[in-house]
Amino acid sequence: MAGTWYPDNPARLIGELDAHLAHADVELNMAPRAIIAPHAGLMYSGPVAAYAYNAARLSQATVIVLVGPSHFIPFRGVSIWSNGEWETPLGALAVDEELAAAIRAASDTVVEMDAAHGREHSLEMQLPFLAHLLPRVTIVPMVMGHQTAATAFALGTALAQAIDASGKNVLLVASSDLSHYEDAQVAARLDGVVLDRIAALDSQGLMRDLEHEPRHACGGGPMVSVLDAATRLGASSARVLRYADSGDVSGDKSSVVGYMAAAIW
């Protein structure tokens, strides 16, 4: 998506990231265990994602575990990318092969399906912020296929077990946009359900809402997994840092996509 959804010129990219970050005021007293950030084009969701990544600045994490939805390839389970590097205009981010292997071994829900990553943007849109703010971290990229309760909670359990056993300082990142192509009032009503569940750290309730009404979010399953893993690792508080929709940028409130930034600690 470099050159289309975000600039491929490093100086221009840094300029846009810094502009979004400068307008994202966040007051947290503790480093987050997890964040939730949107994944649309940088001009649309970047102003919201910047709130999550300003919170992430407090983190001393050495590894970032990324969980996003698969938009193009339907499959059962979660596909993990286990080795190598992911390129960005600001430099490459290496995969943490040790933690990836541990997560892969923790559940047969986690598989390796390279095709699921080929066209996928849900993780890529997180990388410019990470490469800019936390350039020395390693990453573990994962995309979720069919977002069933069984898959979401199996992943949450596997993440918590592998991270706890690793002894590594890990920041979890769930990548999700909220409702799609509703008018702003309908979007706010649908999105408000998700915001309330996130603020309450209620992964079970969020999963029930998503099963009843999938329009709530494209990355609902990843959010459930990250909420579940974070609570298993001791998280007890969450805060929605920012909510907005694409109409705030485009001016068209008749058909919007909802965006949320949240922190869990």
Backbone phi and psi for residue 59, each to the nearest 5 degrees, phi listed first: -75, 140
pTM (two decimals):
0.97
Average pLDDT score over residue span 84-101: 98
Give the CATH number of domain 39-264; options: 3.40.830.10, 3.40.50.2300, 1.10.357.10, 3.30.70.980. 3.40.830.10
- What was the pLDDT predicted at 189? 95
| Average confidence score pLDDT of the chain | 96
| Structure token digits, residue 144 | 């979720």
Average pLDDT score over residue span 71-76: 95
Question: Exposed (0-12), middle (13-18) or buried (19+): which is 58, by Cβ within 10 Å?
Answer: middle
Q: What is the DSSP letter of 81?
A: -
CA 144/CA 76 separation, integer angstroms: 8
Average pLDDT score over residue span 107-115: 96
Element (H, E) at 139: strand 138-144
- What was the pLDDT predicted at 28? 86
First to last CA, the chain: 31
> Domain limits of the chain?
39-264
Buried b (16+ CB within 10 A) or exposed e, 230-247: bbbbebeebbbbbbbbbb
CA 87/CA 151 separation, integer angstroms: 28
Looking at residue 183, its amino acid is D
Contact, 228 vs 207, CB < 8 A? no
Split at pLDDT 50, 70, 90, the class of 29 is: confident
Average pLDDT score over residue span 174-182: 95
Q: Residue 142's closest CA among 132, 134, 152, 150?
A: 152
CA 177/CA 218 separation, integer angstroms: 6
- What was the pLDDT predicted at 213? 87
CA 188/CA 178 separation, integer angstroms: 10
How large a percentage of the chain has pLDDT more than 70? 100
